[in-house]
Amino acid sequence: MPIDILMPALSPTMEEGTLAKWLKHEGDSVTSGDVIAEIETDKATMEVEAVDEGTIGKIVVPEGSEGVKVNAVIAVLLGDGETAADIGTETPAATPAPAPAEAPAPVAAEPAAAAPATAEVPSDPDIPAGTEMVPTTVREALRDAMAEEMRADDDVFVMGEEVAEYQGAYKVTQGLLDEFGARRVVDTPITEHGFAGVGVGAAMAGLKPIVEFMTFNFAMQAMDQIINSAAKTRYMSGGQMHAPVVFRGPNGAAARVAAQHSQCYASWYSHVPGLKVVMPYTAADAKGLLKAAIRDPNPIIFLENEILYGHTFDVPKLDDFVLPIGKARIHRAGNDVTIVSFGIGMTYAEQAAEELSGMGIEAEVIDLRTIRPMDLPTVIESVKKTGRLVTVEEGFPQSSVGTEIATRVMQQAFDYLDAPILTVAGKDVPMPYAANLEKLALPNVAEVVDAVKAVTYTA
């Protein structure tokens, strides 16, 4: 029986890659451990080793193919006595196999539709009609935002661990060192507290630093610099001094990185006066809001997500696409229930809305985009229309962004509510490592659907 060789996942969050080179060819014999191909992801080039012994019967995906999904069949291995004629004609070429239970990313664990290559985003009211849209990953959009701002303003520079030579731990600063040089793309020592403070000091001297944290989980030791210095100096100095820094990097859970690398800090930072907290979902928002953040004279917390980095969305082709901080976006219109989410929480909200639509429930999905200052008026307008509200986020449930929204909607729109507000969040546990436990700890689409059914009394 011929054996399918599948596109391997070379990191927990890899969803697709480029098959850069075949090192074995049809007719070559291989033994377990032989390097048969090279694969490039946006993070690295890696070698694929043969698992089984046999002869390469057919190369299904030619070298140079881009966007090859994890678990797609890339070649077929023949055993003793088998020939190419034994290869079933039904072998699908480059079609994703159903994701196994321990699939790399939580969103990918949902079947096929879970990680749409291009999400359907209603045209943003801030984008002129007829604008050309370019499919772009969130990662590229963030890089483009930084590059554009750095070209426009010599005071903008990037600093952080691995941002220069390595192009960012998640390749978000790709190409910046080449274009802007070591004076403006600065690798730092491994001291989040230290380089956050260096950034604050540089901002006080009149520069506009973008401080990348490898993850916001590491930024906990920089909290004192972010909160006590960056957020409060304008106030304490009577307006004489301030720190226009953007602190950015991945936040929240990725996949298989456990308790100390998976926390969402949206509600933590949203507690602090003096900070603005931005948490985009789409690539267009990532770009437009990061550009706005770099120009903003206040310190900004810009929360990204490792899994979303590889997601592709349409980004308007505009010379200077800047979005307003503090403004939510109606991601999907509907009349029956309002679902408010932000960041990766939007993936659950979006899929739930799709499923609910099949049941005859039309959800209005609001992407908050900015956590502080919070665009409550948009949420309240929607609730006045739907009378029902569900919030969705991956962070811990107590003192969450959802509970904040629930409190304020209850205070300001109580008479419009036809049901209690429900908040969908992560479980109240540190993130476990095991794939099955991790999946349980995060919210899921079914929980969102159930919450909507409960508030619409259709359960």
Partner 1 sequence: MNDYGPLSFKVPEPPVRPGDEPDFSDFEVPKAGTVRKPGVDTDANDIKDLATTMIRVLSREGEAVGPWAEEIDKETLLHGLRSMLRTRAFDERMMTLQRQGKTSFYMKCTGEEAIAIGQQLALSEGDMNFPTYRQQGLLLCQDYPVVDMICQNLSNARDPLHGRQLPVLYSSKKHGFFTISGNLGTQYIHAVGWAMASAIKGDTKIAAAWIGDGSTAESDFHAALVNASVYQPPVVLNIVNNQWAISSFQGIAGGDQATFAERALGYGIPSLRVDGNDFMAVHAVSKWAIERARRNLGPTMIEWVTYRVAPHSTSDDPSKYRPREESAAWPLGDPVLRLKNHLIKIGLWTEERHTQAEAEFDEEMRVAAKEAESYGVMGGGASARDIFEDVYKEMPPHLIAQRQKLGV
Q: Check if the beta carbon of residue 431 is closer than 8 Å to that of residue 438.
A: yes
Per-residue DSSP letters for 99-149? PPTT-SSTGGGS-GGGS-SB---PPPTTSPTT--EEEEEHHHHHHHHHHHH
- Using the rule CB under 8 A, which residue among 103, 164, 185, 202 binds partner 1? 202
**How many residues belong to the site for partner 1 (CB under 8 A)?**
45
The minimum distance between CB 188 and partner 1, in angstroms, equals 8
194 is a site residue for partner 1 (CB under 8 A): yes
Among 96, 104, 274, 288, binds partner 1 (CB under 8 A): 274
Which residues in the 314-373 window bind partner 1 by CB under 8 A? 326, 373
Site membership for partner 1, residue 287 (CB under 8 A): no
Residues belonging to the active site? 192, 261
Q: Which region holds residue 267: left if phi is over 0, alpha if psi is between -120 and 50, else beta?
A: alpha
Candidates 41, 167, 173, 188; binder of partner 1 (CB under 8 A) is: 188
Torsion angle (degrees, nearest 10) of CA 392, 396, 398, 404: -40
Give the nearer residue to partner 1 in terms of CB position, either 44 or 236.
Answer: 236
For 293, the enclosing helix (H) or strand (E) is helix 283-295
Q: Which two tokens stand for residue 125?
A: 């009211």
Sign of the Cα pseudo-torsion (340, 344, 345, 347, in order): positive
Q: Is 411 in the site for partner 1 (CB under 8 A)?
A: no
117 binding partner 1? (CB under 8 A): no
Q: Which is nearer to partner 1, 117 or 205 (CB)?
A: 205
Could you tell me the end-to-end alpha-carbon distance of the chain, in angstroms, rounded to an integer? 48
Phi then psi for 164, rounded to 5 degrees?
A: -95, -90
| 239 sits near partner 1 (criterion: CB under 8 A) | yes
Residue 157 as a binder of partner 1 (CB under 8 A): the answer is yes
The answer to the question of residue 197 lying near partner 1 (CB under 8 A) is yes
Between 29 and 237, CB nearer to partner 1: 237
Cα angle vertex 80, ends 75, 84, to 5°?
45
Which ranges constitute the DSSP H helices of 169-225? 176-180, 192-204, 223
Under the binding rule (CB under 8 A), the answer on residue 181 touching partner 1 is no
Interface residue list for partner 1 (CB under 8 A):
155, 157, 183-184, 186, 188-189, 191, 193-195, 197-207, 221, 224-225, 228-229, 233-242, 273-274, 276, 297-298, 326, 373-374
